[in-house]
Structure formats: structure tokens, C-alpha cells
Amino acid sequence: MFVSLLSFSQKEQKVDAVFKKLEEKYGNNNEYAFSMSYKLYKGHNSGKLSEQYNAQLFHSSKGTYQKIKNTEFVSTSQFSIKINHDEKAIVVTNGAKQNFFKEYKNALKAASSYELSEKNGNYNINIFFFGPTNLPYYKLNLIVNKSNYELKEVNLYYSSETDFDPSFNTSEWAKPHLKILYTKGSMDQLDNSWFLKENYYKIKSGKLVLNDKYSGYSVINTLEQ
């Protein structure tokens, strides 16, 4: 029993050390860019690909910009905005600098157990959540480069089943597995105009008015005046 507890404690310390390095690398004060590939599978181990799409993420001192398919997300200290071009819908909220790694760091606090291995120059970290949590997944897997602590891959194994049949004529229930592949991007592609509020909206007589570029878009305004 003592040996088992000691082994878990050592794994916990090692995982904490890796997460600390990741937090240093991807903290709010650092600049970084990613090209990402999202792969959604039907079932945890089926290998049946349901959907695949690409994304980009840029983080600078001015804020964070992310584009997933046809939806843009911008977060700065002044405002946050989500623009869904397919639905022509915009949500504006108060500013809050985002850190994409924060979700994984917060998840670590709720972990029930860990597995850590090393293979092909990478750390392979499995984090399990057995008790009741606010997290939608029961297992989180991260693959991290050992030499430079760059995040290479994240796998999310969701707890609840979803219906993968797009026709709704039949049911195809399975627990989703989302794989996110990270490739280092170039900050040269960052556009600082992304972080300018006036490029999206302005406040006139206490009302939010969208930029002409977004004419015809619906808007949900949750800004605190």
C-alpha cells in the first residue's frame, strides 16, 4: 500500500512538473501560434472518423485570436467576441484574456489518477476523472515533446453518448473521442487589427452597433455597462 501511494505521488509530481513547463511556455505573457487539426471519432476506440476540420490560434500581449471552421473567437482585456459566420450570429462579452491551456490545468485539479509514460521523445500523460466533476470527459490525454515542452496532441474522451446519425432517421449512439493535433505556427500571420474593438462594433447612445462588415448578423450583447 505504501509503495502504491509513493508511486502515485511520484507520478503526480512528474505530471505537475510537466504542466508547470507547459504553463510557462503558453502563459499569458508569451507569444505563440498554432495550426490545429480536430478529428472527432464515433466511440473511444472505434477509429471511425465522424468529422474533421482545421483551426488556427494566435496569442500575443494584445489578446488571443482563434478560428475553428467558420467561427472566430477574439479575447482581449477590453472585450471578447464570438462570430459564427455560418449562422451570421455574434456574441459580445466583457474582456477576459484567454489561455487555451487553462482548461487542461484546471482539469488537473479534479483528477482521480494519472498515468505517465515516455515514448519516441514525448511524454504521454493520461489523466482520469472517476468522481463527479463539471468536466464533460472522463479521460484527458496529452502528448508533450520532452525536449522543448511543445504540446503535440490532446485527446478528450467524453463521458456521455451522443447520436452520430445526421439524418435523425436512425440512432447511432456512441461516446465521442476528440483528437486535437497541434503544429507550431508562425506569428508572422498575426493581424493586430483582430484585437481592435472598433473593427467589430461601437457603442452609440448606450446601444451596441455592429460594424458594417457584419450587416445582417444577429447579436447577443452581454457587456456590463
Res 104: pLDDT: 87
CATH number for the domain whose boundaries are 14-221: 2.50.20.10
Domain boundaries, the chain: 14-221
Assign 13 a pLDDT band (cuts: 50, 70, 90). confident
Q: Can you tell me the mean pLDDT for 4-14?
A: 64
Res 3: pLDDT: 44
**119-151 pLDDT per residue, tens:** 999 999 999 998 788 899 999 999 999 999 999
Strands 162-163 and 218-221: unpaired
Q: List Cβ<8 Å contacts ≥24 apart for 113-121.
A: 113/8, 114/8, 114/11, 114/12, 114/15, 115/11, 116/11, 116/14, 116/15, 116/18, 118/146, 121/145, 121/146, 121/147
Q: Is the pLDDT of residue 6 over 80?
A: no
Q: Is the pLDDT of residue 23 over 60?
A: yes
* Residue 207 backbone dihedrals phi, psi, to 5 degrees: -115, 145
**Among 69-78, 104-113, 122-131, 195-204, where is mean pLDDT lowest?**
104-113
Whether pTM > 0.85 for this model: the answer is yes
Q: Is the pLDDT of residue 29 over 90?
A: no
